[in-house]
Amino acid sequence: MDNRPIAGTDAKSEMRAWQAVLARYRQPDPARSLFELGATVVPFVALWSLTALAVVNGYWWGLVLTVPTAGFLVRLFILQHDCGHGTLFARRGVNDWIGRIIGVVTLTPYDYWRRTHAVHHATAGNLDKRGLGDITTLTVAEYRALSRLGRVRYRLYRHPLVMFGLGPAWLFICQYRLPVGLMRAGASPWTSTLATNLAIAAPVAGLMWLVGVVPFLLVQLPVTLMAATAGVWLFYVQHQFEETHWSDGEDWNFHHAALHGSSHYDLPLPLRWITGNIGMHHVHHLSAKVPFYRLPEVLRDHPALHDIGRITFIESLRCVKLVLWDERAGRLVSFREARLAAA
């Protein structure tokens, strides 16, 4: 296997070369996909049931099981994510219906989410097309042009307690109940969100009747909130790192934005498994048709990709303070760095 970086005379030829290379990894393996589905659904159901059984019988220590249960809920979302890209199985209809069923568990309306996520992939790193499927990111100049109230609002939005506390809860419990951002985009987003809401109501009512309202909430709320926070954190780190890439429409290039605007979040092996290799995000953006379980093959066969945008877990903790895109420096900066630069 040729381990050299793909080289081309320009960005377009380089993109075509990478697409040709990654095309070899796009074919899903039905047996492997079924295994991954079973290895996620069965432990999730078993852990949720054991936790509820412990709580119902007064064994409060059983709530510790909400932590691994939330981990498997994150992994379920990754499976839904692959369904949205049409990569878990070869047939689109199979992907869509599995994605819709999983969406009931993850509280995420599948068809609506798939549409907004497609916009994210098509516009990631484009300063002229921000606003749908992304974390709001202002440039230093845009932030300075805001009123005092506007700056306060943006600071609150980017504060860790909001971004990773209130934000995930609001997103998955409240915002996904309506097709926010696509309210006037026809019937499909409304059908997706309202049908998902109705589908969620049935198992929630049944489980409340089976185990009781309080035990249900004691189990489901922490599982949902922890999984939502982990999901938002992963999405944040995948694009909000110092050496990420943003450019305006004239200079924006899909290949460059995919490769350099998405991180390689190099997690320990257990976390890599539970998050479905989603940390290999630069490869995923280069070719979203590669199934999640084949992403490690790409890095194994093409080591040149390993260090592009690579950040470790410890390094990722420093990404929280990076909140503004400095167009002159070509990197994300903190409020303090922006203030010092202005001074």
Express each pLDDT in 4-49 by its tens digit.
444 444 666 777 788 788 999 999 999 999 999 999 999 999 999 9
Host domain of residue 254: 11-137+150-318
Query: Would you say residue 210 has pLDDT above 70?
Result: yes
Residues 6+ apart with CB under 8 A from 289: 26, 85, 86, 87
Cα separation of 92 and 100, whole Å?
Answer: 12
Q: Is residue 309 part of a domain?
A: yes
Give the model confidence (pLDDT) of 254-301 as tens digits.
888 888 999 999 999 999 999 999 999 999 999 999 999 999 999 999
Whether 144 is covered by a domain: the verdict is: no
Residues 6+ apart with CB under 8 A from 230: 70, 71, 74, 275
Burial bucket for residue 177 (CB in 10 Å: 0-12, 13-18, 19+)? middle
pLDDT of the residue at 219: 97
What is the band of 3 on the pLDDT scale with cuts at 50, 70, 90? very low
Distance CA 258, CA 281 (A): 9
Q: How far is 304 from 283, CA to CA, in rounded Å?
A: 11
- Higher pLDDT among residues 181 and 220, named by residue: 220
Mean pLDDT (the chain, rounded): 92
Would residue 333 count as lying in a domain? no
User: Under the phi-then-psi rule, with left for phi > 0, alpha for psi from -120 to 50, and beta for the rest, what region is 236?
Assistant: alpha
In a domain, 330, yes or no: no
pLDDT (tens digit per residue) in 66-117: 999 999 999 999 999 999 999 999 999 999 999 999 999 999 999 999 999 9
Per-residue model confidence (pLDDT) at position 213: 96
pLDDT tens string 228-240: 999 999 999 999 9
- CA 54 to CA 14: how far, in whole Å? 56
φ, ψ for residue 169, nearest 5 deg: -60, -45
d(CA 132, CA 180): 9
The 10s digit of each residue's pLDDT in 146-192 is 999 999 999 999 999 999 999 999 999 999 999 998 988 889 999 99
Please identify which residue in the block is written with the tokens 């320009």: 10
Is residue 259 a contact partner of residue 214, using CB atoms and an 8 Å limit?
A: no
pLDDT, residue 2, reads 44
Specify the pLDDT at position 312: 96
Residues 99, 81: Cα–Cα separation, whole Å:
8
At 181 the pLDDT is 87
Half-sphere exposure of 206 (CA within 13 A, CB side): 6
Gyration radius (Cα) of the chain, Å: 21
102 in a domain, yes or no?
Answer: yes
Q: How many domains does the chain have?
A: 1
Provide the pLDDT for residue 132. 80
Q: Report the distance separating Cα 113 and Cα 179, nearest Å.
A: 9
Query: Cα separation of 111 and 193, whole Å?
Result: 8
Asked whether residue 65 carries a pLDDT value surpassing 90, the answer given is yes
d(CA 240, CA 320): 8
Does some domain include residue 186? Answer: yes
AA identity, residue 284: H
Residue 326 has phi, psi (to 5 degrees) of -90, 105
pLDDT surpasses 60 at 319: yes
326 belongs to a structural domain: no
pLDDT computed for residue 8 by the predictor: 42
Measured between alpha carbons, how far is 125 from 262 in angstroms, rounded to an integer?
9
Residue 343 pLDDT level (bands cut at 50, 70, 90) = confident
Question: Counting Cβ atoms within 10 Å, is residue 78 exposed (0-12), middle (13-18) or buried (19+)?
Answer: buried
Verdict on whether the full-model pTM lies above 0.85: yes
Q: DSSP code of 6? A: P
How high is the pLDDT of residue 134?
Answer: 86
Residue 31 lies in a domain: yes
Distances in Å between the alpha carbon of 262 and those of 126, 286, 305? 13, 9, 12
* pLDDT, tens only, 118-135: 999 999 999 999 878 889
